[in-house]
Amino acid sequence: MLDAPVSRGVVAAEAGSLTFMVGGSEDVYLAAKSLLLSMGKEELQEAIDFISLFGFLNLKGA
């Protein structure tokens, strides 16, 4: 499973240049990469598990 919020709007969607902030395991990301690239472009890939990171930050803020 991936967590992939989308940024930008309708114009970017029509142009195929959406921005996805993807979190999850690398093997699942690689399986979904071609689908994501059909709707956006790859600019930065960072091996961070954002779900765990933000979960940790939420716990620290509580």
What are the pLDDT digits (tens) for 31-53?
998 998 889 886 655 555 555 66
Is the Cβ–Cβ distance between 20 and 36 less than 8 Å?
yes
Pick 9 or 44 by higher pLDDT: 9
Residue 11, token pair as written in the block: 């114009």
Task: Give the chain's mean pLDDT.
Answer: 76
0.75 cut: is pTM over it? no
Domain boundaries, the chain: 2-61
Question: What are the φ and ψ backbone dihedral angles of 7, each rounded to 5 degrees?
Answer: -120, 155
Query: What residue type is 19 in one-letter code?
Result: T
Pairwise CA distance, residues 62 & 56, whole Å: 10
Min mean pLDDT across 36-40, 52-56, 57-61 is at: 57-61
Instruction: Give Cβ neighbours of residue 13 (< 8 Å, ≥ 6 apart).
Output: 39
2-61 homologous superfamily: NAD(P)-binding Rossmann-like Domain (3.40.50.720)
Name the CA dihedral angle for 49, 54, 56, 59, rounded to a multiple of 10 degrees: -160
pLDDT at residue 61, as a whole number: 46
